[in-house]
């Protein structure tokens, strides 16, 4: 999955025609999976042979592998791009290894730091919001759907807000989305309304959704073509580190101060 993440982002970021929309659709598919998987897993959990869930996951993985072979074959990225009419990008002219060139790029590390925080916040909200709603707002068993609403918003925002990103500008719109998301987090924290909090969490998902594909689009514009896939792999790796680090920090703080610490954090 980690290899596919880097390669898919690198391939789409290398496209010249409407790459922004294609990147949004790519990551909307992630949001769709994050929305549907918990719902499907819940149904399997209620079956006597819940372990059949792993057979379904294996079947999906096999189908995915077959589709990748049919679409891309065993060609490298340059050959795949040339096959759809894209000229070859800039070629490496440095004597240093690609790893050394990547590590010397300031933009790579800034983007990686942003993605670390972003993915950490995304996974923390999606993972801990249900516990917060149950313990602090007195939500019932249906509170689990709030997390699904968040990831549904994530999927929706990555497609529905494409025109906003294009009209306002991707750089400027990131600040707007961040400020609005912070404002809605204050609503979830300070307004004692279960329904209002649930709606706010879903809208937060819509606002956070475009940030990841926008970052990958920006990487495709500012990084050298021959280093793009490797750089995106490094950036995405930091995202996965954030998805482990921030939820862990939240859990550690919550064990001492209570889950109410989620929103201030």
User: For the stretch 48-69, what's the b/e string if a residue is b when 16 or more beta carbons lie within 10 angstroms of its beta carbon?
Assistant: eeeeebeeeeeeeeeeeeeeee
Angle value at C-alpha 64, between 1 and 247, nearest 5 degrees = 30
Most confident option among 4-8, 24-28, 211-215, 222-226: 211-215
State how far the alpha carbon of 91 is from the alpha carbons of 88, 176, 225, in Å. 8, 37, 7
Any domain includes 128: yes
| DSSP letter for each residue of the chain | -HHHHHHHHHHHHT--SSHHHHHHHHHHHHHHHHHHHHHHHHHHHTSTTTTHHHHHHHHHHHHHHHHHHHHHTT--HHHHHHHTTPPP-PPP--SS-HHHHHHT-HHHHHHHHHHHHHHHHHHHHHHHHHHHHHHHS---GGGHHHHHHHHHHHHHHHHHTHHHHHHH-HHHHHHHHHHHHHHHHHHHHHS--HHHHHHHHHHHHHHHTTHHHHHHHHHHHHS-GGGHHHHHHHHHHHHHHHHHHHHHHHHHHHHHH-GGGTTT-
- How many domains, the chain? 1
Question: With 90 as the cut, is the pLDDT of residue 204 above it?
Answer: yes
Distance CA 237, CA 240 (A): 5
- 250 versus 46: the higher-pLDDT residue is 250
Tokens read off for 115: 């993605």
Any domain includes 56: no
pLDDT at 202: 93
Any domain includes 103: yes
| DSSP letter for each residue of 48-77 | TTTTHHHHHHHHHHHHHHHHHHHHHTT--H
Segment 14-34 mean pLDDT: 84
pLDDT in tens, 213-240: 999 989 888 888 888 888 888 998 898 8
* Confidence at 119, pLDDT banded by 50, 70, 90: very high
pLDDT at 88: 62
pLDDT at 51: 80
* pLDDT > 90 fraction of the chain, expressed in percent and rounded: 25
- 156 versus 143: the higher-pLDDT residue is 156
* Confidence at 174, pLDDT banded by 50, 70, 90: very high
* Confidence at 128, pLDDT banded by 50, 70, 90: confident
Q: Which CATH number characterizes residue 129's domain?
A: 1.20.1250.20
Question: With 90 as the cut, is the pLDDT of residue 251 above it?
Answer: no
Q: Of the ranges 98-102, 109-113, 141-145, which one carries the lowest mean pLDDT score?
A: 141-145
Any domain includes 28: yes
- 207 versus 260: the higher-pLDDT residue is 207
pLDDT at 184: 92
Question: What is the chain's mean pLDDT, rounded?
Answer: 84
pLDDT at 90: 60
With beta carbons less than 8 A apart as the criterion, state whether 223 and 108 touch.
yes
Any domain includes 64: no
pLDDT at 194: 85
Residue 27: domain span: 1-46+97-257
Distance CA 79, CA 77 (A): 5
Question: With 80 as the cut, is the pLDDT of residue 43 above it?
Answer: no
Q: Of the ranges 8-17, 41-50, 59-68, 115-124, which one carries the lowest mean pLDDT score?
A: 41-50
Any domain includes 263: no
* Confidence at 110, pLDDT banded by 50, 70, 90: very high
Question: With 80 as the cut, is the pLDDT of residue 264 above it?
Answer: no
Tokens read off for 72: 């891309």
Segment 68-88 mean pLDDT: 77
Any domain includes 224: yes
Any domain includes 88: no
């Amino acid at each position: 999955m980690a290899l596919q993440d880097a390669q898919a982002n690198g391939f789409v970021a290398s496209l010249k025609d409407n790459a922004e929309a294609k990147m949004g659709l790519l990551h909307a598919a992630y949001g769709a999976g994050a929305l549907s998987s918990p719902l499907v897993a819940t149904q399997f959990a209620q079956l006597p042979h819940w372990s059949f869930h792993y057979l379904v996951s294996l079947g999906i993985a096999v189908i995915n592998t077959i589709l990748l072979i049919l679409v891309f074959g065993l060609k490298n990225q340059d050959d795949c791009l040339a096959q759809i009419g894209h000229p070859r990008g800039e070629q490496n002219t440095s004597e240093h290894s690609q790893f050394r060139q990547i590590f010397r790029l300031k933009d790579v590390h800034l983007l990686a730091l942003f993605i670390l925080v972003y993915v950490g916040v995304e996974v923390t909200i999606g993972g801990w919001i249900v516990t917060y709603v149950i313990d602090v707002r007195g939500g019932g068993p249906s509170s689990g759907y709030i997390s699904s609403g968040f990831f549904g918003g994530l999927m929706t925002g990555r497609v529905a807000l494409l025109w906003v990103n294009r009209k306002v500008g991707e750089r400027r719109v990131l600040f707007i989305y961040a400020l609005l998301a912070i404002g809605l987090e204050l609503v979830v924290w300070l307004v004692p309304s279960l329904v209002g909090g649930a709606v706010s969490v879903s809208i937060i998902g819509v606002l956070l959704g475009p940030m990841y594909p926008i970052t990958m689009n920006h990487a495709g514009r500012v990084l050298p073509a021959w280093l793009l896939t490797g750089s995106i792999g490094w950036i995405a790796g930091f995202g996965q580190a954030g998805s482990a680090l921030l939820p862990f920090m939240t859990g550690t703080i919550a064990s001492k101060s209570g889950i109410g610490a989620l929103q201030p954090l």
